[in-house]
């Protein structure tokens, strides 16, 4: 009788250990996927920020009197660079929104200035910005999908009991700029 009880306890302990290890690995994998997805957003935000000096230089050549608009873009770019160095998703989103607003003003200058609008360099930069924006939209979606998977795991049984032991918690969704 005691031997049977010990065997049952041992089987239960092994089953709990296996469930813990599986849950730990699953949660850690999901957490790493979220971190990877966030770095994908940072790559595209950095790529877009790298296009800004060329855009400012091109616009400056044609629209010298619009210094305030160009300064806003440079300030927004610096804020975005600082945001991508931090850990706050909300700070990234806010900095992205501010850069989008400043870029909108610069691109509007291009539409209002015929010489600038027909400049090959300006058109190439506009195309590069549009391409980067498409990649950024995909990176945001991938991040939010990864966060949804992680958050589902962290809040469902049995993984919710393993999550605190694995040091994994729910993550914040990436909000669209202006949203």
- pLDDT tens figures, 106-139: 888 777 777 777 788 888 888 899 999 999 999 9
Q: 126 phi and psi, to 5 degrees?
A: -60, -45
Distances from the Cα of 145 to the Cα of 3, 18, 87, 134, angstroms: 49, 27, 18, 17
**Which domains does the chain possess?**
2-166 (1.20.1440.20)
In this prediction, residues 153-175 reach a mean pLDDT of: 92
Please name the residues in contact with 134: beta carbons below 8 A apart, sequence gap of 6 or more. none
Q: Which residue has the higher pLDDT, 110 or 162?
A: 162
Comparing C-alpha atoms, which of 131, 144, 141 is closest to residue 170?
144
DSSP of 139-178: HHHHHHHHHHHHHHHHTSTTHHHHHHHHT----PPPPPTT
Q: What is the pLDDT, as a whole number, of residue 126?
A: 87
Q: Residues 6 or more apart from 82 whose CB is under 8 A from it? A: 95
Q: Is the pTM of this model over 0.85?
A: no
Range 160-167 average pLDDT: 91
133 touches 100 (CB < 8 A): no
Q: What is the DSSP string of 42-87?
A: HHHHHHHHHHHHHHHHHHHHH-TT-HHHHHHHHHHHHHHHHHHHSS
109 contacts: CB under 8 Å, gap ≥ 6: 59, 63, 66, 69, 116
What is the DSSP secondary-structure string of 89-141? HHHHHHHHHHHHHHHHHHHHHHHH-HHHHT-HHHHHHHHHHHHHHHHHHHHHH
* pLDDT tens-digit readout, 8-65: 999 999 999 998 999 999 999 999 999 999 999 999 999 998 988 888 888 877 776 6
Widest CA span in the chain:
93
């Amino acid at each position: 009788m005691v031997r049977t009880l010990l065997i049952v306890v041992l089987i239960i302990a092994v089953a709990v250990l296996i469930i813990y290890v599986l849950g730990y690995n699953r949660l850690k994998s999901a957490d790493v996927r979220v971190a990877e997805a966030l770095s994908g957003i940072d790559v595209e935000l950095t790529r877009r920020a790298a296009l800004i000096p060329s855009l400012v230089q091109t616009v400056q050549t044609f629209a010298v009197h619009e210094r305030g608009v160009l300064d806003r873009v440079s300030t927004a770019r610096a804020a975005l660079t600082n945001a991508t160095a931090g850990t706050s998703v909300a700070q990234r989103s806010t900095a992205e929104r501010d850069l989008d607003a400043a870029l909108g003003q610069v691109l509007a200058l291009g539409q209002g200035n015929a010489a600038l609008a027909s400049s090959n360099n300006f058109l190439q930069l506009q195309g590069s910005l549009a391409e980067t924006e498409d990649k950024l939209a995909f990176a945001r979606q991938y991040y939010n999908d990864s966060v949804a998977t992680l958050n589902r795991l962290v809040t469902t049984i049995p993984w919710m009991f393993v999550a605190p032991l694995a040091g994994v918690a729910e993550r914040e969704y990436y909000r669209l700029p202006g949203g």
